């Protein structure tokens, strides 16, 4: 354990820019939800109407949580937002532990650190300590956001502790995965699979008799029932599980070779596929696994949204305050709901596009792009290969959104014609998604070191003005600056081609300008 504190200070310095944004995102989710829920359901009658409407909707319960939380306004806040906040914190800790363990070994940084007076277990201990501090900070911020908006102190403390406990569990799970697999992508893929399974088990359990929810770390956190019973004892489950996983990670670390994983990588083919003979085939091969995961997740999200479409009209009748969040107000309730959910899903699809384009920067800084460019592959072809994958992948993601939501909605209203209709609705938002991708290409070309912050700030900006412009009373120009605000809100509004063409031309100009920057600057800086 020699050198653990020094490594922890070093890791905190490395995360001084990125970690606060994760914590801010989780805090804003809770803060905005708590404020809005208390404004919408401030009386017992309004809360009773909500329980009556949601209590019989299996899809809403599967998306959110157990209906017992709806016994109080604080519980309603946790019903709406706990699972999503827990996912954000779990992803935060997954990236923290993975980046400072397996990723450092891959990049060679761990070997440099180990050459100093650093014990074998010190990097793992420091990474877990960093994740623990991050989870503690997230829990305190959740407590501050809920208690600061007027919710009871006991439930607020329990809500913060439950969120932190979920994060600790996935930090320990990532530590185990880092010993099993010898590349970072496999570590993140395994932990993300467990996270998805945890959400699915909780969803099926809450929609059923609740038994399966006890197999999910997210379910453990929700079953503390903040503001609706305040049960502290379920926190023993994530804490005990985390302790066992940390012990297992330490034992596996002692058994494996440095730089290797206990699960060996599968041997590749003796000869490369003909598709790998060009840059486009290589880009597709590198990004294919991530695209499959995004498409599957977005299709499931669309299906969850579509399954609620048939009951949204009754929901708004019972809770008329909800109409202010729909573009068309109380009129055309279903179309307003469909426009809102597809636009939200399009924002998530744009996040996929950003990660896909930023793979360019990863390949460049890691040195893997140099052998490619040492061949007859030009910078233009190399840039175009990853950009085309991002554009085509985002189109496939929008297809999945429209298909999932259309199919689920069609089954509830017995009208299969809704499937092509909602696929068309989804594709109407594709130019806005492509513009965010093009802005990322522009940043990679001219400001490569700041490309990731610029891209994610763009996505965050569009999300904030799209969701909270009215709640925060933002000026009108801030909302008009988002490409999603310039996109016709189909199916509520009539589809007009002109705005989509303008957005598309701006995207094309941004991508071309990005190539001009990549051509002029030093490669790898």
Which residue has better confidence, 350 or 478?
A: 350
Q: What is the DSSP letter of 494?
A: P
List the single range of 142-156, 383-397, 475-489 with lowest mean pLDDT: 475-489
Asked if omega into 484 is within 30° of 0 (cis), the reply is no
pLDDT in tens, 118-129: 888 899 999 999
For residue 330, what pLDDT band results from cuts at 50, 70 and 90? very low
Which residue has better confidence, 413 or 425?
A: 425
pLDDT in tens, 450-471: 999 899 999 988 988 887 666 6
Which residue has better confidence, 465 or 265?
A: 465
Indicate if the pLDDT at residue 401 is higher than 90. Answer: yes
Distance CA(163)–CA(417), nearest Å, equals 42
Token pair in block for residue 511: 């991508």
Mean pLDDT of 28-53: 82
Which residue has better confidence, 207 or 157?
A: 157
List the single range of 138-142, 169-173, 302-306 with lowest mean pLDDT: 302-306
**pLDDT value of position 473:** 65
Is residue 252 within 8 A of residue 266, CB to CB? The reply is no
Distance CA(300)–CA(296), nearest Å, equals 6
CB count in 10 Å sphere of residue 494: 8
**pLDDT value of position 63:** 76
CA distances 282 to 119, 269, 277, 292, Å, are: 39, 15, 8, 16
Is residue 342 within 8 A of residue 506, CB to CB? The reply is no
Indicate if the pLDDT at residue 525 is higher than 80. Answer: no
**pLDDT value of position 328:** 55
Distance CA(130)–CA(143), nearest Å, equals 20
Is residue 387 within 8 A of residue 515, CB to CB? The reply is no
Mean pLDDT of 250-256: 92
Cβ neighbourhood burial of 466 (10 Å; 0-12, 13-18, 19+)? middle
Indicate if the pLDDT at residue 505 is higher than 60. Answer: yes
Distance CA(466)–CA(344), nearest Å, equals 8
Global pTM? 0.81
CA distances 274 to 24, 64, 253, 271, 282, Å, are: 46, 46, 39, 9, 10
Indicate if the pLDDT at residue 217 is higher than 90. Answer: yes
CA-wise closest residue to 170 among 226, 96, 224, 222: 96
Is residue 431 within 8 A of residue 487, CB to CB? The reply is yes
What is the SS3 assignment for 383?
Answer: helix
Indicate if the pLDDT at residue 313 is higher than 80. Answer: no
What is the SS3 assignment for 268?
Answer: coil
Distance CA(475)–CA(305), nearest Å, equals 30
Q: In the chain, pLDDT over 90 holds for what percent of residues?
A: 56
**pLDDT value of position 476:** 75
| Ordered DSSP codes for 150-190 | T--HHHHHHHHHHHHHHHHHHHHHHHHHHHH-SSHHHHHHH
């Amino acid at each position: 354990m020699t050198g653990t504190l020094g490594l922890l200070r070093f890791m905190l310095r490395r995360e001084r820019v990125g970690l606060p944004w994760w914590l801010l995102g989780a805090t804003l989710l809770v803060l905005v939800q708590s404020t809005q829920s208390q404004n919408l359901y401030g009386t017992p009658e309004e809360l009773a109407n909500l329980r009556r409407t949601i209590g019989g909707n299996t899809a809403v319960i599967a998306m959110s949580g157990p209906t017992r939380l709806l016994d109080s306004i604080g519980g309603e806040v946790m019903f709406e937002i706990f699972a999503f906040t827990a996912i954000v914190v779990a992803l935060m800790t997954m990236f923290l532990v993975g980046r400072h363990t397996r990723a450092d070994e891959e990049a060679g940084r761990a070997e440099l650190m180990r050459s100093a007076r650093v014990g074998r277990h010190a990097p793992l201990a420091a990474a877990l300590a960093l994740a623990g501090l991050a989870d503690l900070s997230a829990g305190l911020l959740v407590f501050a956001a809920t208690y600061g908006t007027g919710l009871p102190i006991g439930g607020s403390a329990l809500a913060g502790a439950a969120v932190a406990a979920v994060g600790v569990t996935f930090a320990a799970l990532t530590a185990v995965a880092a010993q099993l697999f010898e590349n970072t992508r496999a570590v993140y893929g395994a932990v993300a699979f467990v996270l998805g399974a945890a959400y699915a088990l909780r969803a099926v359990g809450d929609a059923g008799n609740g038994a399966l929810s006890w197999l999910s770390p997210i379910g453990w956190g929700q079953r503390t029932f903040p503001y609706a019973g305040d049960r502290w004892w379920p926190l023993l489950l994530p804490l005990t599980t985390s302790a066992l996983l940390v012990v297992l990670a330490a034992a596996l670390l002692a058994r494996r070779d440095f730089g290797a994983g206990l699960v060996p990588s599968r041997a590749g083919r003796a000869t490369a596929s003909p598709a790998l003979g060009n840059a486009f085939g290589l880009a597709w091969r590198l990004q294919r696994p991530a695209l499959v995961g995004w498409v599957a997740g977005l299709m499931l999200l669309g299906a969850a949204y579509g399954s609620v479409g048939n009951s949204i009209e009754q929901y708004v009748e019972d809770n008329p305050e909800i109409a202010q969040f729909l573009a068309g107000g109380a009129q055309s309730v279903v179309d307003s709901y469909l426009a809102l959910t597809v636009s939200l899903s399009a924002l998530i699809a744009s996040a996929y596009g950003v990660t896909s384009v930023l793979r360019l920067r990863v390949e460049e800084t890691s040195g893997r792009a140099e052998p490619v460019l040492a061949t007859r592959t030009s910078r233009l072809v190399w840039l175009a290969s990853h950009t085309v994958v991002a554009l085509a992948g985002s189109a496939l993601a929008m297809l999945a959104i429209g298909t999932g939501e259309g199919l689920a909605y069609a089954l509830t209203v017995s009208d299969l014609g809704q499937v092509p209709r909602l696929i068309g609705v989804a594709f109407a938002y594709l130019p806005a998604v492509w513009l965010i991708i093009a802005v990322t290409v522009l940043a990679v070309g001219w400001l490569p070191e700041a490309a990731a912050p610029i891209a994610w700030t763009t996505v965050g900006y569009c999300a904030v003005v799209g969701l909270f412009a009215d709640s925060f009373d933002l000026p009108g120009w801030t909302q008009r600056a988002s490409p999603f605000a310039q996109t016709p809100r189909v199916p509520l509004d009539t589809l007009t081609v002109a705005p989509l063409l303008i957005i598309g031309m701006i995207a094309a100009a941004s991508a071309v300008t990005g190539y001009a920057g990549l051509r002029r600057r030093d490669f790898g800086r």
